[in-house]
Structure 1
Amino acid sequence: MTVTPLRPTLLAIMVEDQVRAALQEDLGRAGDITTYATIAPSLMAEARVNTRQEGIVAGMELARTAFRLVDPAVVFDAHMEDGDRVKPGDALITVNGPARSVLSAERVALNFLMHLSGIATLTARYAAEIAHTPAKVTCTRKTLPGLRALAKYAVRLGGASNHRYGLDDAVLIKDNHIAVSGGVASAVRAARAYCGHLVKIEVEVDGLDQMREALTASPDVILLDNMGPERLREAVEINRLAAGLSPEAYRNAPNRVKLEASGNVDLTTIKAIAESGIDYISTSKITMAAPTLDVGLDVVTR
């Protein structure tokens, strides 16, 4: 039975410090001197945030928090939710309140919306390319400093899954760990002895001989680095035979080693990679190379 995952949740308490820091960076030592110089304190404004491109919305709670922190008197009316698909001209938000406050919060609110919506939108394109396969797109730890939890949230809104959040929630034994520790299997066994039973262990290999060695230590996941589709198909078959499973039983076997592909993943290559039969495809492009979604705020004139 296929289970449709619920949309991820981003609570205000998870984002307030980041929004506050962004506002402090933008407002600096003297505040929004342009707005203070040109807009009287008594003036009120209504403004709408509209999308100018097709995409997927992410970051509404950050935008809400930006306006609230600048001025609780600003009324924030959301017309969309995170995860909604939008087209050019769609209204995301209407804000009403003191004009100075609306304009001073604008840039920070839009920066978060544009960045996170861009990640969700590009991620959705990657996920759509392999929707006909059981493989899942997953992100990496390559995120802008300080924004990892937000970027990974946007990835999930785009229909992909999250890799580890940091160095402390899962083991990923990479080539440099293996070079120092002395071997693939020994590194996996050492990790298993060190970590508790709830910690997943993944090991990176760059060849099929290393993969065979890794299988002797039974990691949870093997990361196949920079292998083309043909080599990946070989890896899947090696894994199937090692597990003693028929082709029909292999895909849904709960306890077999999972295979992840990485390296040279983009929109032109991901389909062939997924069709090789691997389980996960990790790429940093969805978090590090996503263009922003074009979103703008316009004051409503009467």
Structure 2
Amino acid sequence: MQSLRELLQAALMEDLGTYGDITSRAVSAEKKQAVGRCIVKRTGILAGIQVAQQVYDLIDKDVKIDIHFRDGDVCQAGSVAFEVYGNAYTLLIGERLVLNLLQRLSGIATFTRRYVEAIEGTGCEVLDTRKTTPLWRALEKWAVTLGGGKNHRFGLYDQFLIKDNHIDLTGSVSAAIEAVLRYRTEQNLSAPIVVEVRNLREIAEALRYAKEIDRLLLDNLSPQQVARAVEYIGGRLPVEVSGGITPENARAYAEAGARYISAGALTHSAPALDISLKIQPLQ
């Protein structure tokens, strides 16, 4: 897996290509010193400040950053998150990558906080999913935690998640669970086991393995259906719900008895936080 430094370097090269920033070169930006002010234009949770520092460090170690807000801080519209000082060409070539990361990650953190606030006091937790931008999963999942959410499995290797496709391939919930239990023993693994169930029959089947599995996943059910399922489960296993859950309906699912809410929207549909970087020459 590529390190963050390698990913940032690749992202910079994607922007610079062979010739660099031809517009900034044309106006002789490299001959001037400048300051860039990062302005948050909509209130939200900041995420990506330390990554922005790494971007500028990659370009030019002489760049100086004066940070006013840290990752995870609530930043009001109009606030200056940081000021960056250095060669104008350096600031200009880093501008888009820095803003892309800040807007994306802050958007995720801010959107996650909406879910967390919606279910406050219920004891339910908000989880992310693997529906992330390829290669940027670690950053996006980190942004979720800054918004108050928790990380679901990071990949296909750190949790057994028996879904409908696995059940259909093996023929039944029991067959899929048995196969996973055998494999986990044979490979000497300790990864938790989560089982997706679609109806009361499958719930009953999965509950026979309540001592061996970790939780049940109810997908694409209404809050009323979830409440009936939770009552049937009777506390024998924690319940996770997913599918079409929004900040507006999250509380209904939490109050129906869900212990966890997982939402792909946290990372695939979070609106970017409006942030700009205004660069001006130093006198």
- Aligned counterpart for 2:233 among listed residues 225, 228, 239: 239
Q: 1:92 aligns with which of 81, 84, 92?
A: 81
How many Å apart are 1:193 and its aligned residue? 2.0
Alpha-carbon distance in structure 2 between the residues aligned to 1:232 and 1:93: 45
Residue in structure 1 matched with residue 163 of structure 2 by the alignment: 174
Equivalent residue, structure 2, for 1:230: 224
Verify: 1:44 aligned to 2:38, yes or no: no
Contact 1:64 1:76 in 2 (8 A): yes
Give the Cα–Cα distance (whole angstroms) in 1 for the partners of residues 22 and 125 of structure 2.
Answer: 48
Deviation at 1:60, TM superposition (A): 1.2
Contact 2:30 2:90 in 1 (8 A): no
Residue 77 (structure 1) aligned with residue 66 (structure 2): yes
Tell me if the contact between 2:91 and 2:279 (Cα under 8 Å) persists in the aligned partners: no
**3-state SS of paired residue (1:29):** coil
Residue identity in the other structure for 1:273: Y
Q: Name the SS for the 1:164 alignment partner.
A: coil
Residue 299 of structure 1 is aligned with which of 271, 279, 282? 279
| Mapped pair 1:160 → 2:149 | yes
Deviations 1:131-189 (A, max 9, x none): 12111111111111111111110011111111101000000011111011111022112
| Candidates 244, 263, 283, aligned match of 1:264 | 244
Residue 100 and residue 84 in structure 1: after superposition, are their counterparts in 2 closer, same or farther (change >3 A)? same
Any stretches of 5+ residues in structure 1 without a counterpart? 1-12, 241-249, 251-255
1:145 is the counterpart of 2:134? yes
Give the C-alpha shift of residue 34 in structure 1: 0.7
Number of residue-to-residue matches in the alignment: 276
Q: Which residue of 2 aligns with 1:281?
A: 261
Matched, 1:136 2:128: no
Does the aligned pair in 1 maintain the 2:131–2:268 contact within 8 Å?
yes
- 1:9 maps to none
Alpha-carbon offset, residue 39 of structure 1: 2.4
SS at match of 1:53: coil
What is the TM-score with the length of structure 2 in the denominator? 0.94
Deviation at 1:79, TM superposition (A): 1.4
What SS does structure 1 have at the residue aligned with 2:257? coil
CA RMSD of aligned residues (A): 1.4
